[in-house]
Structure 1
Amino acid sequence: MRVSVLGCGRWGTFMAWYTNKIGHDVMLWGRETSKSFAGLKETRKNEYLSLPDTIKLCSSLDKSISFAELIIISISAQELRSFAKQLNSIKESQNKTFILCMKGLEASSGTRLSQVFSEELGRNVNVAVWVGPGHVQEYVNNIPNCMVIGSENVDITKKIVQEFNSDLIRFYYGQDLIGNEIGAATKNVIGIAAGMLDGLNYSSLKGSLMARGTREISRLVRVMGGNELTIYGLSHLGDYEATLFSIHSNNRKFGQSYVEGERFGKLAEGVSTIKALKEISRQYEVELPICNALYEILFENKDAKATLENLFLRPVKFEFQN
């Protein structure tokens, strides 16, 4: 099958590498002005992997859309709406199946990414999400993991799983799009909190963070209309090891760098997600203590040590009381 991957960052380039590895004909799109794309054109390498010559590189969005039946999108979550507007101007986009391989929420509105995409391209477009644990650095060394494909159309979900399942990535069918998207986005937020605890030498509190984080986000999913048990699956709790403990996690490293007063130069999607969760908390009138504490630290300049100590060491209460 022909597959186009739109976005040539760390994850997008891996998507192209992986789909080619399992036997698909792949085209990787990047902006002509992108340093990442320029580097791939020159050397077919980045800091994570080398692309085989069988993968086509293209800077034309029209050609990339017309090339394939399945279109994988892997860009910054905050760029998705403007990017979807571009895709909407390409007539052939209406006949394709799009897979969103990114984890986040629209910061200004709190909108889920599949909703953002559908709002711009219309409800009739086929859109799925690809979420779950795993790092490029481990996959390219043949270390396997499990991930989730989810959509509102079970036939689309099954088709994508059939095309992409392999010994390297074992896929599960996502049954709750709300829970999978919220879970995938918010695990990055919990990852930032974990990094802050590491930076403060409070790593032992990450057990409490895991327990309370899943509880907090499961309540959110429930009030949004999803299945609260989804949070205990691969998209959220299942991704904790890769996000709260891994040396490869950008979000964990961002949190640690922040409290240590060091600059972190790579994208940490969880920062924008914290803004989105502030809006969602207001819309749904739900308390999100961990997310709110991170908002205060990052956007209201509250002291991280004092704020996190107050969060975890506040007065005694029943463990499972809302």
Structure 2
Amino acid sequence: MEKITIIGGGSWGSAIANSLAEKGEDACLYIMEKQQYDLVVKTKTNPQYLKDFTFSNHLKFSNDFNKSVGEATVLIIAVPTNAVRSVLEQIKELNVSPRTLVNLAKGLEQNTHLRISEIANEILPEFPFVALNGPSHAEEVAKNLPTTLVACSENHSEAVKIEKLFSTETLRIYYQDDLVGVEMGAALKNIIALAAGLTDGLQFGDNTKAALMTRGIHEITKLGIQMGAKPQTFLGLTGIGDLIVTCTSLHSRNRNFGYLIGQGKSVEEAMKIVDMVVEGYKTTKSAYELSQEVGVEMPITEKLYDVLYKGEDPKIAVMELMTRRSKHENEGINDIS
């Protein structure tokens, strides 16, 4: 049996750890903050991140990073994108033998614009890497509602191993090998979800959201292909699937953050109200900068960047999107493929 350590006691790390423990796997949830750790151990709840939820009695907990990592054969990274590098560097400092890394974060690193697998390859190149992504909210996985995910790795045997390890009666895992496509889709959909929430805040309606999501997957695909992804990946779970759930669900932090911006809240006010990490905010900046570097036109991302980072009025941004030059619907995709 694998010994699994989940690093990160947020909503997603908690839900995944609990799912593994309920299945009977040897799982340990590492929680960095001592106060949170003490509360979880005492009450078997994690109210800051998951409401009306109780951890399985089979799940172990730890506040000792060195021990948690040292004993594991599979390490699940369940921290925000901006914390991934520091966690991987801590693992490297322990000088442990290679073990499977499974990443749950969805984003691009600030400044470098690197995908998580690229960061891992830079710091821990000997560790097999698997991205586990797909249309999933922790709140629903915690309730054992039917969910599908994709285990993606350039190492086929590792992807299959994680597929088998995580699969349950309510959690179906597919395996994939297009790491660029899976990671790009998972990261960029947060931008479109944020924009979808913004249109809800502006009370623009279903027509607007349908257009936004459709054109959103178009520009996600354009940048993804430019970076080396396979076009068909964006038609799957980590593309259109993840986009649908994140743009439409009330569980979505990105959608909720965008909604507050659409209602006139400042970035600071919206962050305070959501009170959890909103990956789409930083990913908007990273994706905008990356698109400029590689010469891919991403109008939704660009206008959202103007709203979030330059203070442009959301209504003006939408008007500018609606009055752009006429073009063929598939422009950009055909050019690349």
Which residue of structure 1 lines up, in the alignment, with residue 191 of structure 2?
A: 189
Q: CA deviation at 1:315?
A: 4.0
Q: What one-letter code is carried by the residue in structure 1 that aligns with 2:283? A: T
Q: Which amino acid aligns with 1:172?
A: Y
The corresponding residue for 1:124 is 126
Contact 2:74/2:101 (<8 A) preserved = yes
For residue 128 of structure 1, what is the amino acid of its counterpart?
A: V
Amino acid at match of 2:42: E
Distance 1:203 1:71 in 2: 42
Instruction: Measure, in 2, the Cα distance between the counterparts of 1:32 and 1:253.
Output: 26
Contact 2:152 2:175 in 1 (8 A): yes
- Once the two structures are superposed, what CA deviation does each residue of 1:189-245 show, in whole Å capped at 9, x if it has no partner? 110000001000113211111111111111111111111221111012111232111
Q: CA deviation at 1:310?
A: 1.7
> What does residue range 1-322 of structure 1 map to in structure 2 within 5 Å?
1=1, 2-33=3-34, 35-47=35-47, 48=50, 49-92=53-96, 94-121=97-124, 123-204=125-206, 205-262=208-265, 263=270, 264=273, 265-322=275-332
Q: Distance in 2 between matches of 1:312 and 1:168?
A: 41
Contact 2:196 2:209 in 1 (8 A): yes
Q: 1:245 to 1:32 in 2, by over 3 A?
A: closer
TM-score scaled to structure 1, two decimals?
A: 0.95
For residues 76-117 of structure 1, the C-alpha deviation after alignment (integer angstroms, 9 at most, x for no partner) is 10011112111101122x321010011111021110011112
Q: Which amino acid aligns with 1:76?
A: P
What one-letter code is carried by the residue in structure 2 that aligns with 1:8?
G
Question: Amino acid of the residue matched to residue 52 of structure 1?
Answer: S
Q: Contact 2:22/2:56 (CA < 8 Å) preserved in 1?
A: no
Aligned length: 319
**How far apart are the structure 2 equivalents of 1:152 and 1:185?**
18
Structure 2: how far apart are the matches of 1:85 and 1:287?
34
The alpha carbon displacement at 1:313 in A equals 4.3
Give 1:267 deviation, angstroms: 1.4
Contact conserved, 1:109 with 1:279, CA < 8 A, in 2? no
Conserved? CA contact 1:218–1:229, under 8 Å: no
- On the 8 A contact 1:108/1:275 being kept in 2, the answer is no
Q: Is the 8 A contact 1:6 1:72 kept in 2?
A: yes
User: CA separation in 1, counterparts of 2:240 and 2:38?
Assistant: 37
SS at match of 1:16: helix
Q: Distance in 1 between matches of 2:311 and 2:81?
A: 25
AA in 2 matched with 1:197: T
Q: Is the 8 A contact 2:132 2:152 kept in 1?
A: yes
CA offset digits 1:126-158 (Å, max 9, x no partner): 111100012122223332011100011011101
Q: For the residues of structure 2 that align with 1:313 and 1:167, how far apart are their CA atoms?
A: 48
Secondary structure of 2:238 counterpart = coil
TM-score between the two structures when normalised by the length of structure 2: 0.91
Taking the aligned partners of 2:302 and 2:18, their CA distance within structure 1 comes to: 38
User: How far does the alpha carbon of each residue in 1:269-292 deviate from its partner, in whole angstroms, 9 at most, with x for none?
Assistant: 011111111221122121111111
Letter in 2 for 1:190: I
Point out where structure 2 has 5 or more consecutive residues left out of the alignment.
333-337
- Kindly provide the amino acid, as one letter, of the partner of residue 72 in structure 1: I
CA contact (8 A) 2:24 2:58 kept: no
Unaligned segments of structure 1, at least 5 residues: none
The aligned amino acid for 1:227 is K
